[in-house]
Amino acid sequence: MSLYNELLKKVDKENLPSHVAIIMDGNGRWAQKRKLVRVRGHEQGSKVVKRIVETASNLGISVLSLYAFSKENWNRPREEVDALMQLLHHYLLVESRNLIKNGIRLSIIGDLKSLSPKLNELIADVCARSKKNTGTRVVIALSYSGRYEITQAVKEVVRDVQRHRISVDDVDEQMFGQYLFTRGLPDPDLLIRTSAEKRISNFMLWQIAYTELYITKTLWPDFTKEEFLKAIISYQKRERRFGMTGDQLSRRPDSFRGYSLNE
Ligand code: FPP
């Protein structure tokens, strides 16, 4: 039996993470180790994106979020930024038919106005064409930063108060979440970061409050569908306490998701 099938047998299909988020790190180092230009690492990385999207979709993961380009990444050398934008354009253009055929719904989050009109046009087209799909929702974070997202949300809340659409007292965590780019999506249950860095790098700062972290040494271009399964198996062994005690959990075997202190 293949390693993949062996691991698949260990995955509890009843306890899959609804939302898996990934910080795809290590493309540059992968290329440098091979004396290649950094862009080659991003190219290899985009092939891995294709594989992991397929794996998540086959498993039945509801949401897969991929951190593809941060707002801070604009400060990289011009050639690298251009190559990354071209790669993203190519991925959306070439992969969209496959994604749509496989029932995937695509969303892009981030500061879209900082992207080129051509890329924006393609994003709008692919998102619209996949909108009715009910399979895995693939969220690509592009020109994204968690602080930017929160700041934008705060501005929108203030505007809605000024327009008398809501009052200050209406604002709570649940409502604030509806102002984020990820409105309507569950928070990530599992965040995978490749290349051993122990950082969050401004990704989904609000949403990952109680997310389980899986950090691997593997560089993103070497990340495999087997390791994706290993991350899920690791997640399934954890006890998620959401601030409660282990004792409380064993007395509440039912779902404790969304537990709040006011309950
Ligand atoms: C971080 O590695 C990775 C990025 C900044 C880009 C991620 C992009 C891809 C995986 C390919 C395109 C994406 C899609 C969705 C098709 P790094 O360059 O910071 O690596 P380093 O830390 O080793 O330098």
Query: How many other CB atoms are there within 10 angstroms of residue 113's CB atom?
Result: 8
Q: How confident is the model at residue 34 (pLDDT cuts 50, 70, 90)?
A: very high
Q: pLDDT band at residue 262, thresholds of 50, 70 and 90?
A: very low
User: Does the annotation mark 73 as catalytic?
Assistant: yes
pLDDT in tens, 81-90: 999 999 999 9
**Per-residue pLDDT tens for 13-28?**
999 999 999 999 999 9
Over residues 192-222, the pLDDT tens digits come to 999 999 999 999 999 999 999 999 999 999 9
Fold of 18-146+187-256: Undecaprenyl pyrophosphate synthetase (3.40.1180)
Q: Is the CB of 221 under 6 A from ligand 1?
A: no
Structure-block tokens of residue 48: 């891995």
Cβ–ligand 1 contact at 49 (below 6 Å): yes
Nearest CA to ligand 1 atom 12: 46
- Using the atom order of ligand 1, give the atom closest to the CA of residue 140: 15
pLDDT for residue 258: 42
The pLDDT, as a whole number, for residue 241 is 85
Residue pLDDT, tens place only, 141-161: 999 999 999 999 999 999 999
Q: Are 191 and 22 in contact (CB under 8 A)?
A: yes
What the block records as the tokens of 91 is 């991925």
From 25, 27, 187, 189, the catalytic residue: 25
State the CB neighbour count (10 A cutoff) for residue 213: 17
**pTM (2 decimals)?**
0.94
How many A from CA of 230 to the centre of ligand 1?
21
Ligand 1 within 6 A of 201 CB? no
63 pLDDT band (50/70/90 cuts)?
very high
How far is the centre of ligand 1, averaged over its atoms, from the C-alpha of 148 (Å)? 20
Q: DSSP per residue over 108-143, as a string?
A: EES-GGGS-HHHHHHHHHHHHHHTT--S-EEEEEEE
Query: How remote is the CA of residue 45 from the centroid of ligand 1, in Å?
Result: 7
pLDDT of residue 240: 85
Residue 150 to residue 110: CA distance in whole angstroms: 11
pLDDT band at 249 (very low <50, low <70, confident <90, very high): confident
- Which member of 15, 73, 98, 262 is catalytic? 73
Cβ of residue 17 lying under 6 Å from some atom of ligand 1: no
The answer to whether residue 25 is catalytic is yes
Enumerate the β-bridge partners of residue 145: none
Q: Which residue among 38, 42, 51, 81 has the greatest number of ligand 1 atoms within 8 angstroms of its CB, and so is best to mutate?
A: 42
* Residue 68 CB–ligand 1 contact under 6 Å: yes
DSSP string covering 189-258, please? Answer: SEEEE-TT----TTSSTTTTTTPEEEE-SS-GGG--HHHHHHHHHHHHTS---TTS-HHHHHH--S--TT
pLDDT of residue 231: 98
Q: For the residues 68-91, what does the mean pLDDT come to?
A: 97
